A and B are shown apart, each in its own frame.
Chain A
Amino acid sequence: MTLIGIGALLLAVMLALLAAGVWIAVSLAITGGIGMALFTSLPLDVTAKNLFTSFWGANASWELAALPLFIWMGEILFRTRLSEQMFTGLAPWLNRIPGRLMHTTILGCGIFGSVSGSSAATCATISKVALPELLKRGYDERVALGSLATAGTLGILIPPSITMVVYAVAAEASIIRIFLAGFFPGFLLMFLFSGYIAWWAWRHPDRTPPPDPPTTFAQKIKASGELIPCGLLILFIVVALVKGWATATECAAYGVLGSLALAWWGKSLTWKNFIDSLMGATRVSCMIMFILAGAKFLSMTMGYTGIPRALAEWVDSLHLAPYTLIAVLALIYIVLGTALDGISMIVLTATVVLPMIQKAGFDLIWFGIFIVMLVEIAEVTPPVGFNLFVLQNMTGRDSNEIALASLPFFAMLVVAIAIITVFPDLVTWLPDYVMGVEK
């Protein structure tokens, strides 16, 4: 059997397990076990030892400790009044721009994204307040739903980001570097989303309600005053990352401290909220680490069989133009993203795709941002897209309807991916400037 044939067989086994509904982490580990049993001559005891080592090694990781802390931080802020403060603080400034308060969705998600590392949490937090307020004033429901679903995904592109931590661990890349790489693509995406809203409002002036009564500058400042604590927290995280004061894990720990202080200041730090947020964070990180452990065992098998290297050489021998390779990968990830969540998608493909990408001469940090943006697309593509589920639950609208409403914003994401592919410096400039060019 050729290596590619073995690879295809293992892929078939894995897809069968996944489709049957076997838990993703276990599907990965079992595929790894089958690969080890059939295609290497290792005794069972060594397979067991490998399983043990990969599970222990995956979980007992200092790098990974940032994960539960970043998740906890988001869980704390999710339980504060931050989303209301965000809306009242942002609204007065947006009255005169085409699209008016509709832009609160984009700005709100962008700001919350810089304290939260999760897409569904960002979407839920901002939608909770912005959606009823916008609908009450008579803004177009379709555009509001589409922009909230898609802008919520800024949570994983603008650092901190759970998805980026997972990618960095899978790719053995620097977490801070990839965090820094996310800033400009995040701004680019916010600009594109807001641009679409302004363009839409300009084309449909009859469907934008009249502005709120004008406010004076002093009133505006007063309304935004509540955003100051959150602004300080963001500023702290950004400065700590850029100045290199703290490692990613330390940054996460101080983020938690800041969020706790913010919650205490806003009187939402009850004992119940504290325990709920901590337990939620524990469960979510346990789930992610379980997948990472299963994937580590699978990649160990892959290492034994040499499939990723063979595949990388095969793709290399096709002499694809780099843009063709990227386009094909983007297509594959969009298809995978319809059925898988982002974390599983990254972990599942890392072992096979990363050698291919490196061989083709792409930067791993750049590829991380590329993949995170494809995960953002996955969050809004049916049948499985968590942001769609969040909004379906909040509005009672069917998730396919929300997916349709997200289509123009989905297109903006594709445009952003095309832009960073043509201008990769947009991604790599900031990390290279702050941390020096990687050798």
Chain B
Amino acid sequence: MRAALDRIYDAAGYLAAFFVFAIFAVMIGGTALRELGLRSGGSDDIVAWFCAAAAFLAMAHTFRRGDFVRVMLGLERLGPVARRRMELLCLLVMVAFTGFLAVAAIRFVYESYALNDMANGLIAIPLWIPQSSFVVGALLLLVAVVDELATVLRGGTPAYIVAVEERHARGDFSEDL
């Protein structure tokens, strides 16, 4: 179960990275086509959709790696018992929010599918196709958050704390801005 979940989060993360690479490829390809005098219309829409896919699909992976920023000052001052309670509270807030987000994503992407909304740019495809990255990403994030909640309830340390501590111990700050 553990291994399977981890693999799913990471797979979505890699897929998101692929979309970042795809943005790069489409941009380069688009300018090359323009230089050759061919039309590269529609590439703006594709880039925007890829950008959304990269952001949504990476959410669960990013959350677990501790890259979502939060203010740690208060938490770090607490004793272990109080800290665990606060961590639980934060995760409960997170479950409530991501749950609502996932429901909203499913509800409105389904609506867009049912009403057959079309993209109004140069590439007229049904909008639910690019929007499905939102549904998948939001659902995965919800699963990842519940996963962490279960870890903390069982008395463990959440993955997002462990990952950051390990990274900083290695002297790797490339992911802090």
Contact = CB atoms under 8 A, between A and B. Distances in A.
Interface of A: 17-26, 29-30, 33, 48-49, 51-52, 55-56, 59-62, 64-65, 68-69, 72, 75, 78, 118-121, 124, 162-163, 246, 249-250, 252-254, 256-257, 275, 278-291, 293, 339-344, 383-384, 386, 389-390, 393-394
Interface of B: 13-14, 16-17, 20-21, 23-24, 27-28, 30-31, 44-45, 47-52, 54-56, 58-59, 61-62, 65, 67-75, 86-87, 89-90, 93-94, 97-98, 100-101, 103-105, 107-108, 130-131, 134, 168, 171, 173-177
Contacts of A119: 177
A24 B71 contact: yes
A33 B99 CA distance: 14
Nearest to B130: A60
Nearest to A166: B177
B177 A24 contact: no
Contact of A21 (B44, B59, B74, B173): B74
A265 B105 CA distance: 45
Given A278-B20, A279-B13, A286-B55, A30 B67 contact: no
17 contacts: A18-B70, A21-B90, A22-B93, A23-B94, A30-B97, A49-B108, A62-B47, A68-B20, A69-B27, A162-B177, A163-B177, A249-B23, A252-B27, A278-B21, A284-B175, A287-B69, A342-B177
Contact of A339 (B73, B87, B93): B73
Contact of B108 (A26, A52, A283): A52
Given A48-B100, A61-B52, A69-B24, 6 more contacts: A21-B87, A23-B69, A23-B90, A59-B134, A286-B58, A287-B68
B176 A286 contact: no
Contacts, number: 208
Contact of A124 (B56, B93, B173): B173
A55 B130 CA distance: 13
Contacts of B13: 279, 282-283
Looking at chain A's contact residues, the main secondary structure is: helix
Contacts of B51: 59-62, 64-65, 68, 289
A18 B90 CA distance: 10
A281 B108 CA distance: 29
Contacts of A75: 174
